[in-house]
Structure 1
């Protein structure tokens, strides 16, 4: 297992290198000039040329890439062209917001998707099963930004129940200890601030969780239907075991192993979907930071945030493989 882990970690390097080359190239193909965007339409040619020289944008792309690699080898992701702040510090400042949003969305998707998938399989071809399949198809098909706007309109504008933007109300100020708004408020003993942070999380979390819950529910249903027809399930029923024990102790346990792979990959995709969700809800995470960087042609930020998303995706895939091996001895023997 240790050898397999070392090999997988080493394999991350060429993948990240390829991602870096692609992102570096594509970011330079974005229409527009960063210096012109930063200075505005009233800037003169001399001012634009001076800023380009100051930001090293007048150098050849190969020289820019070499300099970036040199800084990256020292743990330096460069400085934002717009703010001048180190990109790594800006990312670490915003990472807890994205993780808080994504982890809560993952928990919500698991709590909704797995029970719905199990019940649909147990009640296959019933009215409930047909309704779940229609809702799941809608959840998979609806664009995230459209679903976000609908939730804002209904729960924020029409009903006025939930806030539609931001991470907390301006009159709730908590010391950022962990970076997780709810946890920081609880650490300070401020229950009202924790509730306010939770209410701000509800709408963006629902948007992110909807796609994963719909996908997971459909996958668990299909996996459960296949497992429920296996011989060991029929044997368990023939022994007189209760239906609940057959479904949850035997069938679900075997159906969840392949579902684990789907959860891991879709969670990584959900982080990518956070770009749109965070932008719509003005959520101060990495996704919105990346969107603003693309709009401002901020090359170092685009490269840094893309590397972080790629690293999270690869580490999530590795974690899924390790968990699958831990649950299935057959996979564990193949990793030796």
Structure 2
């Protein structure tokens, strides 16, 4: 197991290097000059030239890339052109916010999608099954930004049940101990702080969880239908086991193993795909930070955030493989 982990981890390094080269090259194809963006349209040519020299934008791209790689080796992602702060510090400050809604969305999707898939598989071609399939197709097809705007309109504007954006009410003040709003609110002991943090999470978590819940439900249904037709399941029924035991002890356990891949990869995609959701809900995570960096042509931030997203995606993929090994002895034997 340890040898497999080391091999997989080392195999991530060439992929990460390729991502770095591609991102570094593509970022410089973004139209516009960062110096002009920072100084504004009223800046003179001399001011622009001086800022470009200060930011090392006049150096050849090869030299810029070399200096960036040297900085990465020393744990330096560069300095934000907009704020002047180290990119790594800026990302670490916002990473808990992104992880908070991503983890909550995955948990919500598992709680909703798995039972729906099981119930649909045990009642194939019923009215319930057809209704769930229509809802799942809607959840998979609806764009995240459209769902976000619809939910804001209904639950925030019309009904007034939930806040339209932000992470915490303006009248609630808590110390940022862990960076996770719910945990910090609980640690503060502030009355209503936890409730405020949870209410602000409902809409963005719903938007992120909708696609994953629909995908997971459809996937569990398909794998459950295949598993229920296997010989060992028919044997379990012939032995006199109850329907509940056959479904949940035998069929579901086998069907959930491939679903781990779906959940793991969708979680990684969710981290990178949270840009629209965080921007619409003014959620102070890495996605919104990256959106602002793209608008400001902030090269170091774009490169650093993309690198972090790529690293999280690959680490999640590695964790999925390890979970496979822990849950399936056949996979574990192949890894040894």
TMscore range, shorter length: over 0.9
Deviation at 1:231, TM superposition (A): 1.1
Post-superposition offset of 1:190: 2.6
Match of 1:298 in 2: 298
Q: CA offsets, 1:218-239, max 9 Å, x none?
A: 0000000000011111111111
Which residue does the alignment assign to 2:50? 50
Q: How does 1:171-250 map to 2 (within 5 A)?
A: 171-250=171-250
Equivalent position of 2:74 in the other structure: 74
Q: Deviation per CA, 1:283-333, whole angstroms, max 9, x where unpaired?
A: 000000010001100000000000100000000000000001111111111
Partner Cα separation in structure 1 for residue 32 and residue 140 of structure 2: 35
1:1-336 equivalent positions in 2, closer than 5 A: 1-336=1-336
The CA distance in 1 between the partners of 2:169 and 2:263, in whole Å, is: 32
Runs of 4+ in 1 over 6 A off after TM superposition: none
**3-state DSSP of counterpart to 1:43:** coil
In the alignment of these two chains, the number of paired residues is: 336
CA offsets 1:178-202 (integer angstroms, 9 cap, x no match): 1111111111223410100000000
Partners of 2:215 and 2:78 in 1: CA distance? 38
Distance 1:295 1:29 in 2: 13
**Secondary structure class of the residue paired with 1:194:** helix
Once the two structures are TM-superposed, the CA of residue 240 in structure 1 deviates from its matched residue by 1.4
* Structure 2: gaps (5+ residues): none
- Residue 166 of structure 1 aligns to a residue in which SS? coil
Q: CA RMSD in A?
A: 0.7
Offset at 1:248?
A: 0.4
Shift of 1:273: 1.5
Q: Which region of structure 1 is more displaced relative to structure 2, 233-242 or 53-62? A: 233-242
CA deviation digits over 1:108-159, x for unaligned, max 9? Answer: 0000000000000001100111111111111111111111011001111111
Secondary structure of the structure 2 residue equivalent to 1:263: helix
Find the aligned partners of 2:26 and 2:74 in 1 and give their Cα distance: 24
CA distance in 2, matches of 1:211, 1:191: 34
Q: Distance in 2 between matches of 1:205 and 1:248?
A: 28
> What 5-or-longer segments of structure 1 have no aligned partner?
none
Q: SS of the counterpart of 1:56?
A: coil
